Amino acid sequence: MAIKKVLRYGEKSLREPSKEVHKVSRKITDLVNDLLDTMYSQNGVGLAAPQIGVNYRVFVIDVSTGNEPLNPIVFINPKIIKKSGAIISNEGCLSFPEAYTDVRRYKNVMVKAQDANGRTFTLEAKDGCLLARAIQHEFDHLDGILFIDHCINRFETENVLKKFNLPELEPERLIAEPELEKELND
Is 183 among the residues known to form the active site?
A: no
Of the candidates 11, 91, 124, 138, the residue annotated as catalytic is 138
Helices (H) and strands (E) in the chain, counts: 4, 7
Diameter of the chain measured on Cα atoms: 49
SS3 of 65, please? coil
Characterise 15 by phi-psi region: left (phi > 0), alpha (psi -120 to 50), beta (else).
alpha
Cα within 13 Å of Cα(168), Cβ side: 4
How many CB atoms are located within 10 Å of the residue 92 CB?
A: 16
Task: Give exposure, 54-65, as e/b (b: 16+ Cβ within 10 Å).
Answer: bbbbbbbbbbee
CA distances from 53 to 8, 48, 57, 130, 177 (A): 10, 9, 12, 25, 28
Residues designated as active site: 138
